[in-house]
């Protein structure tokens, strides 16, 4: 029995070291390295325009007017206000129209929001928890 416990504990340690090695090799860290940090200052005249559109796995933002690069973020409707992030894409000032890929498709008849958010990092794993909506988010209905 003692031999079985030692083998089990050894397996846990080896497994933990393998997982740690994979995270290190892929560069997955809890804090961004200094070379990943970027800044974005939003201006009061930054805006997005979005129209009602067919439900699907992308959202078309028909007009993006930015002074500096920023995230264009699609949110769930949470009691009439932006809720969970469904998708985001970095847009540059001359972008015009953008298509935002979503983590899950929109549902026909539901209302969603599109907003502009500044970015503090360029890693997609972190933007979902660090981006506040700046200004007023625009709503649209998936049809």
C-alpha span between 22 and 78 (Å, rounded): 36
Tell me which residue of 132, 121, 127 sits closest to 42, measured CA to CA: 132
C-alpha span between 71 and 128 (Å, rounded): 11
To the nearest whole number, what is the mean pLDDT of the chain?
A: 74
Residue range 37-54: mean pLDDT, rounded: 68
Would you place residue 134 in the very low, low, confident or very high pLDDT band (cuts 50, 70, 90)? low
pLDDT at 38: 39
pLDDT at 24: 67
pLDDT higher than 90, residue 65: no
pLDDT at 124: 53
State the Rg of the chain over Cα: 20
| Backbone conformation region of residue 26, classed left if phi is above 0, alpha if psi is from -120 to 50, else beta | alpha
Weakest-pLDDT range from 19-23, 79-83, 122-126, 138-142: 122-126
- The string of DSSP codes covering 69-93 is -EEEEEEEEETTEEEEEEEEEEE-T
What percent of the chain shows pLDDT beyond 90?
13
Residue range 11-30: mean pLDDT, rounded: 67
Q: Where are the domains of the chain?
A: 2-30, 35-141
C-alpha span between 3 and 23 (Å, rounded): 31
Looking at the domain that runs over 35-141, which CATH code has it been given? 2.60.40
pLDDT higher than 80, residue 100: yes
């Amino acid at each position: 029995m003692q031999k079985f416990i030692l083998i089990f504990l050894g397996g846990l340690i080896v497994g933990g070291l393998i997982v740690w090695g994979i995270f290190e090799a892929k560069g997955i860290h809890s804090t961004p390295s200094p070379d990943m940090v970027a800044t974005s200052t939003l201006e009061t005249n930054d805006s997005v325009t979005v129209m009602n559109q067919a439900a699907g796995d992308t959202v078309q933002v028909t007009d993006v007017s930015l002074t500096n690069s920023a995230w264009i973020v699609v949110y769930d409707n949470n009691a009439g206000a932006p809720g969970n992030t469904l998708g985001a894409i970095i847009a540059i000032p001359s972008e015009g129209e953008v298509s935002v890929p979503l983590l899950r498709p929109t549902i026909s008849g539901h209302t969603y929001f599109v907003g502009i958010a500044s970015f503090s990092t360029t890693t997609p794993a972190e933007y979902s928890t660090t981006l506040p909506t700046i200004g007023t988010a625009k709503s649209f209905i998936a049809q």
